[in-house]
Structure 1
Amino acid sequence: MKIQISKNKEIFNFSQPYIIAEIGANHNGDMDLAKKMIDSAVDCGCDAVKFQSWTPQSLIAKEEYDRNQVYDDSPKKHFGSLEEMVTKYYLRPEQHFELKEYCEGKGVDFCSSPFSTKEVDLLMEIGVPFLKIASMDINNIPFLKYAARTMKPIVVSTGMATIAEIDRAVQTIRGEGNEQICLLHCISIYPPKDKDIHLRNIAMLQDTFNLPVGFSDHSFGTAVPLASVALGACIIEKHFTLDKDLPGWDHEISADPVEMKAICYDSKKIQAAMGNVHRTVSDEEEAKKDKFRRSIVAATDLKKGTVLSEEHFDYKRPGTGIPPNEYLYVAGRKLNCDIAADTLLTWDHFE
Structure 2
Amino acid sequence: MAKTPEIEIAGRKIGAAHEPYVICELSGNHNGSLDRALVMVDAAADTGCDAIKIQTYTADTITMDVDRPEFKIHGGLWDGRSLYELYEEAHTPFEWHAAIFERARKRGVTIFSSPFDETAVDLLADLGAPAYKIASFEAVDLPLIRYAASKGKPLIISTGMANLAEIQTARDTALAAGAPGVVMLHCVSSYPATFADANVRTVTDMAQRFDCPIGLSDHTPGTAASVAAVAMGASVIEKHFTLARADGGPDAAFSLEPNEFKALCDDTKAAWAALGQAHYDVLGSERGSLLFRRSLYVTADVKAGQPLTRANVRSIRPGNGLPPAHFEEVLGRTAKRDLARGEPLAWDMLA
The gaps in structure 1 that reach 5 residues or longer are none
* Cα-to-partner distance string for 1:128-157 (whole Å, 9 max, x where unaligned): 121100001111111111222222111000
Tell me what 1:122 maps to: 123
Tell me what 2:306 maps to: 306
Q: 2:128 & 2:75 partners in 1: Cα distance?
A: 34
Quick one: which amino acid aligns to residue 175 of structure 1? Answer: A
The answer to whether the Cα contact below 8 Å between 1:20 and 1:49 also exists between their aligned partners in 2 is: yes
Which structure 2 residues correspond to residues 185-224 of structure 1 after superposition, within 5 A? 185-224=186-225
* Cα-to-partner distance string for 1:244-290 (whole Å, 9 max, x where unaligned): 23343211111112221211121122111111123342112122111
Tell me what 2:326 maps to: 326
**Residues 119 and 105 of structure 1: is their aligned pair in 2 closer, same or farther, counting only changes over 3 Å?**
same
Quick one: which amino acid aligns to residue 32 of structure 1? Answer: D
What percentage of residue pairs aligned between the two structures are identical?
37
**Residues 72 and 31 of structure 1: is their aligned pair in 2 closer, same or farther, counting only changes over 3 Å?**
farther
TM-aligned CA deviation for residue 207 of structure 1 = 0.7
Q: Which moved more, 1:324-333 or 1:224-233?
A: 324-333
* Cα-to-partner distance string for 1:13-32 (whole Å, 9 max, x where unaligned): 26311111111122123110
**Residues 2 and 81 of structure 1: is their aligned pair in 2 closer, same or farther, counting only changes over 3 Å?**
closer
1:159 lines up with 2:163 in the alignment:
no
Quick one: which amino acid aligns to residue 282 of structure 2? Answer: V
Q: 1:199 & 1:137 partners in 2: Cα distance?
A: 21
Normalised to the residue count of structure 2, the TM-score between the two structures is 0.90
The answer to whether the Cα contact below 8 Å between 2:26 and 2:240 also exists between their aligned partners in 1 is: yes
Which structure 2 residues correspond to residues 27-176 of structure 1 after superposition, within 5 A? 27-62=30-65, 64=66, 69-75=71-77, 82-176=83-177
Q: 2:248 & 2:178 partners in 1: Cα distance?
A: 42
Which of 6, 28, 31 is the matching residue for 1:2?
Answer: 6
**Residues 26 and 166 of structure 1: is their aligned pair in 2 closer, same or farther, counting only changes over 3 Å?**
same
**Residues 129 and 329 of structure 1: is their aligned pair in 2 closer, same or farther, counting only changes over 3 Å?**
farther
Tell me what 1:21 maps to: 24
Q: 1:258 & 1:236 partners in 2: Cα distance?
A: 17
Q: Which moved more, 1:109-118 or 1:300-309?
A: 300-309
Q: 1:280 & 1:18 partners in 2: Cα distance?
A: 31
Quick one: which amino acid aligns to residue 272 of structure 1? Answer: A
**Residues 71 and 77 of structure 1: is their aligned pair in 2 closer, same or farther, counting only changes over 3 Å?**
closer
Quick one: which amino acid aligns to residue 295 of structure 1? Answer: S
Q: Which moved more, 1:148-157 or 1:199-208?
A: 148-157
The answer to whether the Cα contact below 8 Å between 1:77 and 1:247 also exists between their aligned partners in 2 is: no
Quick one: which amino acid aligns to residue 20 of structure 2? Answer: P
Quick one: which amino acid aligns to residue 174 of structure 1? Answer: L
The answer to whether the Cα contact below 8 Å between 2:63 and 2:83 also exists between their aligned partners in 1 is: no
Normalised to the residue count of structure 1, the TM-score between the two structures is 0.90
Tell me what 1:295 maps to: 295
Q: 2:139 & 2:67 partners in 1: Cα distance?
A: 23
TM-aligned CA deviation for residue 309 of structure 1 = 5.6
Q: Which moved more, 1:96-105 or 1:118-127?
A: 118-127
Tell me what 1:226 maps to: 227
Q: How many residues align?
A: 347
* Cα-to-partner distance string for 1:147-172 (whole Å, 9 max, x where unaligned): 22222111000001111110111121
The answer to whether the Cα contact below 8 Å between 1:76 and 1:247 also exists between their aligned partners in 2 is: no
TM-aligned CA deviation for residue 315 of structure 1 = 1.3
The answer to whether the Cα contact below 8 Å between 1:295 and 1:324 also exists between their aligned partners in 2 is: yes
The answer to whether the Cα contact below 8 Å between 1:73 and 1:190 also exists between their aligned partners in 2 is: no
* Cα-to-partner distance string for 1:100-147 (whole Å, 9 max, x where unaligned): 111111111111000112211211111112110000111111111122
Quick one: which amino acid aligns to residue 326 of structure 1? Answer: H
**Residues 3 and 295 of structure 1: is their aligned pair in 2 closer, same or farther, counting only changes over 3 Å?**
same
Could you say what secondary structure the match of 1:104 adopts? Answer: helix
Q: Which moved more, 1:295-304 or 1:42-51?
A: 295-304
Q: 1:30 & 1:55 partners in 2: Cα distance?
A: 15
**Residues 326 and 150 of structure 1: is their aligned pair in 2 closer, same or farther, counting only changes over 3 Å?**
farther
Tell me what 1:178 maps to: 179
* Cα-to-partner distance string for 1:159-198 (whole Å, 9 max, x where unaligned): 0111111011112122235351111110000012222111
**Residues 296 and 69 of structure 1: is their aligned pair in 2 closer, same or farther, counting only changes over 3 Å?**
same
The answer to whether the Cα contact below 8 Å between 1:6 and 1:129 also exists between their aligned partners in 2 is: yes
